[in-house]
A and B are shown apart, each in its own frame.
Chain A
Amino acid sequence: MTTLTSQQRQDLIDELPRLKRYCLSLTSDPADADDLLQITVERLLEKGMPADAHVAKWSHRVCKNLWIDEIRSRDVRNRYALSEGVIDGAGTTSANTEESVQLDRVSAAMEQLPAEQRAALVQVAVEGRSYAEAAAFLEVPIGTIMSRVARARKALAANLEWREEREA
């Protein structure tokens, strides 16, 4: 496999914001998302991709596989120990405004979703992909995307209602 062509590099740079969001949807943590993004880029630069590869799809697939590898190799005890000190937001400011509180609440609720639901919801609701496009990106059936997105929205709504009641 050859190294990346100039066009592939440019396409990859253009894809970085979406790839970063995908990393965050997988990891639910900004620092880990940064790590996953960089590791993904390193892998792409190291291994390259076929000349006819769809840069966005290929990079998303590499990213997902790297994350799966990380999950599998991680020590379970460390994972749960670290999850107690989870970062509670995806880059919200420190100012205690109503909006930042609300966004923190949403970030925390998103973090509670199963990773596959979160990834599906981000692809559809944030990236604006159709179910068919999201299914192709995530390499799952369309019906699975429909189900995951609906369940994610339902769980998120329930979680946010609970948080609002608790804070009231």
Chain B
Amino acid sequence: MGVAKKVKDMRDDRKNVVDMDGSRVDDDHLLSMYIDNELDAEQTIAFVSRLKSESALRTRLTQLEENDGLIKRVYAQSADSIPHQVAALISADNVTLLRPVRQWRRWTTAAVAASCAVVIAMVLNTNQTAVFNPMTIDAQMAHALESSPSRAAGWETLDNERTFRSVLTFPAADGKWCREFMLVHRESNWRGVACRDDGNWVNQVVGSEVFLNQETQYRPAGADDSQSVARFIDETATDVALGPQQEAALILSGW
């Protein structure tokens, strides 16, 4: 088929379609380029002339510009809500990430649909001291999750710096057993949920809290932290928490 015949057979039902550098653009494209100051001088003069004489074109221009203004306001709001730990992470001196532990809140494994309040572990070279990462489950904590009965009061000492309390045990939608726990490390207090996967305890969500009285009173450090743990349990648990006898039997059986 010859080029001329191909051109003749082309149909273009768009109105006011013009050739621009080899591309055919309609009025909306021209308006968009006009808004963005991307028309050259000659094109701009021609387009302004059209705007003066075509009220529909002017109306459309106003509509698109107003929409742009709304988009700017929507996105201006988003920039105001930068998570504070992000800037702090960049600013911290001599920071080395132990590992990237941040996970997508909405797309973790298929069995889990929860928001994870993840803390990034940092090693500060100045004192060669590892900053505590509550998401890490070491041998002592794993042992406590594996064997400690849930309790409403009292703490179990994990080591010189940490005390631990299992709060409740519940079954998850994917068949795993999960445990809510509380953890104190020096001045920091955490509440979280860990689930047992093929013999290993894996933290699913951890949030910081303030324990006014370690025995009975606590309040969440932030609404998001508290809600993360509660929401995880709401969305994951398929049944009520185990009673003391059921839990004891489960622990004795090795889960």
Report yes or no: B89 in contact with A16, Cβ–Cβ below 8 A.
Answer: no
- In the complex, which range does the number of interface residues on chain A fall in? 35 or more
**Residue from B38, B64, B71, B120 whose CB has the most chain A CB atoms within 10 Å:** B71
Taken residue by residue from 85 to 118, chain A's Cβ proximity to chain B (1 for < 8 Å, 0 otherwise) reads as 0000111100000000011001100100000000
Q: Is A70 an interface residue (CB 8 A)?
A: yes
> Chain B residues near A166 (CB, 8 Å)?
none
B residues apposed to A, CB below 8 Å: 23, 25, 28-29, 31-33, 35-38, 63-64, 67-68, 70-83, 85-87, 89-91, 95-97, 100, 102-107, 110, 113, 115, 120
Whole-angstrom distance between the alpha carbons of A33 and B33 in the complex?
A: 29
A residues apposed to B, CB below 8 Å: 3-4, 9, 12-13, 16-18, 20-21, 24-25, 29-35, 37-39, 41-43, 45-46, 70, 74-75, 78-79, 82, 89-92, 102-103, 106-107, 110, 121-122, 124-126, 130-131, 143, 146-147, 149-150, 153-154, 156-157, 160
Q: A13-B87, A16-B87, A143-B23 are in contact. Are A153 and B77 (CB under 8 A)?
A: no
Whole-angstrom distance between the alpha carbons of A99 and B78 in the complex?
A: 16
> Chain A residues near B86 (CB, 8 Å)?
16, 37-38, 41
> Chain B residues near A43 (CB, 8 Å)?
100
Report yes or no: B78 in contact with A91, Cβ–Cβ below 8 A.
Answer: yes
Report yes or no: B78 in contact with A90, Cβ–Cβ below 8 A.
Answer: yes
Report yes or no: B74 in contact with A46, Cβ–Cβ below 8 A.
Answer: no
Report yes or no: A35 in contact with B23, Cβ–Cβ below 8 A.
Answer: no
> Chain B residues near A124 (CB, 8 Å)?
36
Report yes or no: B97 in contact with A38, Cβ–Cβ below 8 A.
Answer: no
Whole-angstrom distance between the alpha carbons of A62 and B78 in the complex?
A: 20
Q: A9-B90, A9-B91 are in contact. Are A149 and B74 (CB under 8 A)?
A: no
Whole-angstrom distance between the alpha carbons of A79 and B106 in the complex?
A: 9
Q: A20-B82, A78-B107, A149-B32 are in contact. Are A42 and B102 (CB under 8 A)?
A: yes
